Structures are given as C-alpha cells and as structure tokens.
Amino acid sequence: MYSTILIALENTPTDETILRHIRPLAKLHGSALVLVHVADGFGARYQEGLNLEDSREIAADREYLAQRVRELAAEGFRATPCLEKGDPAAGILAAAARERCDLIAMATHGHGPIADLLRGSVAEKVRHLTDLPVLMLRATKQ
C-alpha cells in the first residue's frame, strides 16, 4: 500500500515522534523511506542566486540527514536523504512528487489554531495542497 513514505524532519527532538511511529508501518509495507528536511534560513533560500557555498546550517542539515539514514539502514530500512531549500511546505511537496511518495508523514507542534494562524503551519499547508494521504502526529514533549 505504501511503497515510498516521505518523512518530514525538522532536525529537532520533534523528529523522534514521527520516526518512532513510522518504523512499524514501513516494516509492515516494506516501504522505502525518503527523509526530507527543508532548510529555510536566509542562506538556504538565496544560496544559488548568490553563488554561496554551503552554510553551516546546510552542512549540519546534510550531516543530520546522513546520520538518520545510517540509523535506519542499520535497522534494515531503505532510506534516502533529501535536503530541500526554501519554503518548508513547498519543499516537502516537491520532494514527495519527485520521489513518487504515496504517504507524507510529519510531526506537528500542536500550537493551537490562533498560533498557527499567526505563524502559519507547515503541516496545514501540506495537508491542504496535496492529494496524498498525510499522517500527522502531535509531537510529544521532550
């Protein structure tokens, strides 16, 4: 049913919530995993246009994804890292389309409707802009 699952990661402890939940689902379906992080700082958003080298943010994000891929590979999963840059929702959706994912999985912060309205919610944008199923789990407090 789910041959390829995109897992949106933030490079924060929040990631543990979705990774813990997805492992059994991915095992059950024999799913490949696409680990996506979207770097959205100034350098990441304008790196190519300004001909900038990788910033510390980008280098740290690449290493984080590589480490997560190694962890999952050691557990027998087929996992691929994917570092996007720019708007998080757009990056997640672009990666899902490019990698032909059939499920998007992500943790949410559960700030509440007012905070999400003021700050915007990546999860809500993704949910409204995709035709794919989206699995959203509220992050556990660390």
Q: Which helix (H) or strand (E) element contains residue 67?
A: helix 56-74
Question: Strands 4-9 and 78-85: what pairing?
Answer: unpaired
Q: Check residue 78 and give its pLDDT.
A: 98
**Which residues, 6 or more positions from 46, have their beta carbon under 8 angstroms from its beta carbon?**
52
pLDDT band at 44 (very low <50, low <70, confident <90, very high): low
pLDDT digits 0-9 by tens, 59-91: 889 999 999 999 999 999 999 999 998 899 999
